[in-house]
Amino acid sequence: MALDAQWAANWMRAGAAAMAENRQRLIDLDRDIGDADHGENMDRGFSAVVQKLDADGTPATPGDVLKLAAMTLMSKVGGAAGPLYGTAFLRASTAAGAAPELGPAAVAAMLAAARDGIVARGKAEPGDKTMVDAWTPAVEAARTAAAAQATGAGVLAAAANAANAGLAGTEPLTARKGRASYLGERSAGHLDPGAASTVLILQAAARTAEEAA
Ligand code: ADP
Ligand code: MG
């Protein structure tokens, strides 16, 4: 099976399961350097995506699934993360276009578009201790994997692994964007919650792609 609309819907469902499972962990991470709502926000948003998929049925293309997710996350997540992930999925949808399935290069381009959307919206740079610190290495690893003839599932696995390393790298950083930046140097010594939810999203993509392969 290819990385088609069914895969994209499976990805969103696996993402929702991961948010539900990690709700408390994301709340705790956000309590350390924010306002303890990130787990609640992401769980609410992704479960709304699943409800919409259940109500409407699986859309025709991966791009349509990503668009449904974008609109739903934008309206349901709230906080800083809602518009950021909404923009990410909207740009990813545009990059995916009307293609019925995504090959390795298209997957890498979709991730790059998502990351670029987050940067356009939030203006964070790598090293600012945000989700950009997970997305940026993920995009680089995805491009490298696609250039080395990896499968779509391989591209997503490389992205998820690099995002996870990026997440670990946020721990010593001082936040320069978002709510955590109000803490200044006291934000150092904690993982960034948005980078943690990014890892969950990319791991869900990789896992469901592996199952689809
Ligand atoms: P809020 O900070 O409004 O409570 P959330 O708790 O849902 O929103 O999300 C916080 C996460 O959003 C942070 O951990 C960080 O990864 C991300 N974030 C915040 N501001 C930015 C930004 N300007 N650019 C990129 N990511 C950001
Ligand atoms: Mg918060």
3-state secondary structure the chain: CCCEHHHHHHHHHHHHHHHHHCHHHHHHHHHHHCCCCHHHHHHHHHHHHHHHHHHHCCCCCHHHHHHHHHHHHHHHCCCCHHHHHHHHHHHHHHHHCCCCECCHHHHHHHHHHHHHHHHHHHCCCCCCCCCHHHHHHHHHHHHHHHHCCCCHHHHHHHHHHHHHHHHHHCCCCCCCCCHHHHHHHHHCCCCCHHHHHHHHHHHHHHHHHHHHC
53 CA → ligand 1 middle, Å: 26
Q: What pTM value is reported for the model?
A: 0.98
- Give tens-digit pLDDT for 165-189: 999 999 999 999 999 999 999 999 9
Q: Which pLDDT score, from 0 to 100, does residue 175 have?
A: 98
Whether the CB of 178 sits within 6 Å of ligand 1: yes
Residue 30 Cα: closest atom of ligand 1: 6
Residue nearest to atom 5 of ligand 1 (CA): 38
> Is the C-beta atom of 190 inside 6 A of ligand 1?
no
Ligand 1, atom 4, residue with closest C-alpha = 79
Distance 12 CA to ligand 1 centre (A): 20
Residues 1-36: tens digit of each pLDDT: 589 999 999 999 999 999 999 999 999 999 999 999
User: What CATH code is assigned to 5-212?
Assistant: 1.25.40.340
What confidence category does residue 138 fall into, taking pLDDT thresholds of 50, 70 and 90? very high
Q: How far is the CA of 150 from the centre of ligand 1 (A)?
A: 32
